[in-house]
A = this chain, B = another copy of it.
Amino acid sequence: MKENKLISSVKEAITAAGVKDGMTLSFHHHLRNGDYVLNMVMEAVAELGIKNLKLNVSSIFECHKPLIEHIKNGVVTEIETDYMSGSVGKAISEGIMEKPVIFRSHGGRPDAILSGESPIDVAFVAAPTADPMGNCSGKYGPSACGSIGYAFPDAMAAKKVVVITDNLVPYPLVDYSIEETYVDYVVKVDKIGDPSGIVSGTTKITRDPVGLMIARYAAKVIEHSGLLKDGFAFQTGAGGASLAAAKFLKEIMLEKGIKGSYALGGITSYLVDMLNEGCFEALMDVQCFDLGAIESIRTNPKHMEVSAQRYASNYYKSSCVDSLDVVILGATQIDTDFNVNVHTDSNGYIMGGSGGHSDTAAGAKLAMIVAPLSRARLSIVVDKVLTVSTPGKTIDVLVTQRGIAVNPNRPELKERLVKAGLPIVDIHDLKKMAEEITGVAEPIKTGDKVVAKVMYRDGTCIDEIKNVITK
C-alpha cells in the first residue's frame, strides 16, 4: 500500500530528492542533441539557488550549451562525462572551470558509479515512457529513443532517482527497462526532448570515394583476419566510413553464408538490416542511433537492450565487449605507437571523448581504426597524439585509403593480411605519405592548466588535457 511516486513539477522533485549544495547529479544522453531534461533540471536547480554541484553526464552535446552559464555562475563546479562536443567542450578547453573535467569511458563510467568510486546523490532519468511507480522505457512514446542502457548504473546506484517523462502510462509498464525498485519520484512534463534532435532520420553511409575505399579495405581486413566465421561478433560506429564498412562486410557475410552471433553498441538501421538478413542472431543495444533501430528494439525480441555495465564493464565479471571479435573505430589522431586520440581536435579543443572506444578496443580480438590519411590538411598519423584516449597496445590495425598498418604486436595478423594481398604499410610510412602532401604539422601549443583528465576504463588516469591558448 505505497502511494504512487508522482510529483507535480521538476522543481518539487528536486526539493523532494533533497538536492543541496555540493551534491552530485547525474544524467544520461539517449535524447542526444534533442535532450531537454538536463537543461530543465539545471534551470530549476539554479532558480532554487543551489550551488557547487558536480554533474555526472554520460555525454554532453551542443544542446547543453546553457551549462556554460551554470558553470560561470558557480552552480556547476565539477563535471564527469564520457563525451563532450560543441560549445561546452570549447568553453572547457578555454579554461572556464577551476576543476578538471573527468573523462571516463562508457564502461568505466558505470564501473565507477556502481563500485562506489563515483557516487551519485540524485539521478535524473529522461524516460520516453514511465508508469506512476517509476518503471520506465525508452521504446515508446512521442520522444522514443529506444535503449536507455546508459541510465541503468545511475538508477541502480544513486541515493535518489527521479524519472522525468512526457508519456505517463498506467501501472504496470510491461516492457520496462529500469524498474520501480530503484525509483523515488516520477515527474510528468510536457516534453522531454525534440524528436528531430533525439535521432537522425536515418544514419547515412558515406558517398565520399576516399571513405568508400577505406570501408572496402576494412571489410577485406575482417574477411582475412581469421575471425569472420560462424559466431562472429561485431561492433561498428555510426560514422559514414564505419557504416560503409558494415555494408561491404554484409555483402561478404551473405555471399559466404556466415552466421554471426551478435552486433553490439550504438545500433543503426544498417545493423538492424544485418540482423533481419540473418548475418547476426542478436543485436545488443546500449543506444539507438536512428528510427529504424528504435522500431527494431521495440518489436524484435532478438534486438536486446543492454545496460552500460553489461555493454562495456571492466569491473563486473564480464561484459559484451569481452566476446567481440571485431570493432571498427574512428580517430582524430593516431600515433606511431597506435595510441588513439578521440578527445581533442587539431587545435587542441575538446570535441569528443572515449565513449566505448577504449572499452571495445580492449575487449575485441581485432580493434581496427578507420580514418582518412589526412583531414583538414593535417596528417592523421602523428609522432605522438595530443591526447591518449585509447592505448596503442589495444589497437591492432589502422586502415587508410593509402594502406593498412598493423600493430607490430600482431605479427600473425600482418602475415594473414599480406597473404591476402592487402596493401600493408608500416605506420611510419603512412605518416610520411601523409606529410608529403600536408607537410609536417606544427605541434599544437597548449597552456599549463589541466582542463580535463582522461581516465582509462580501469579507473587510472592515462592522460591530461591542457587548456587551449586563445588569442
Residues of A participating in the B interface, judged by any CB pair closer than 8 Å: 1-2, 5, 133-134, 161, 170-172, 174-175, 179-184, 231, 233, 261-262, 281-282, 284, 301-302, 304, 307, 309-310, 313, 316-320, 322-323, 362-365
Residues in B whose Cβ lies below 8 Å from that of A364: 1
Contact B172 A323 (CB under 8 A): yes
Q: Is B172 a contact partner of A320 (Cβ separation < 8 A)?
A: yes
Copies in the assembly, this chain:
2
Q: A180-B318, A181-B319, A322-B1 are in contact. Are A172 and B313 (CB under 8 A)?
A: no
Most buried by B among A179, A233, A319: A179
The reply to whether B231 and A174 contact each other, CB–CB distance below 8 Å, is no
Contact of A134 with B317 at beta-carbon distance under 8 Å, contacts A179-B310, A301-B175, A310-B179 already known? yes
CB pair A318–B261 under 8 Å, yes or no, is no
Query: Could you tell me the distance in whole angstroms from the C-beta of A310 to the nearest C-beta in chain B?
Result: 5
Contact A261 B171 (CB under 8 A): yes
A134 — which chain B residues lie within 8 A by C-beta? Answer: 317-318
Q: Are B182 and A316 interface neighbours, CB within 8 A? A: yes
Asked if residues B281 and A318 are in contact (CB atoms below 8 Å), the reply is no
In the bound complex, residues from chain B placing their C-beta under 8 Å from that of A262 are 171-172
Contacts of A284 in B (CB 8 A): 172
Query: Which chain B residues lie closer than 8 Å to A182 at the CB level?
Result: 316-317
Q: In the complex, A364→B1 CA distance in Å? A: 6
The smallest C-beta distance from A404 to any residue of chain B, in angstroms, reads 21
A-B contact pairs, 24 of them (CB 8 A): A1-B322, A2-B323, A2-B363, A134-B318, A161-B317, A170-B231, A170-B261, A171-B261, A171-B323, A172-B261, A172-B262, A172-B281, A172-B282, A172-B284, A172-B304, A174-B301, A174-B304, A175-B301, A180-B310, A180-B317, A181-B310, A181-B316, A181-B318, A182-B317
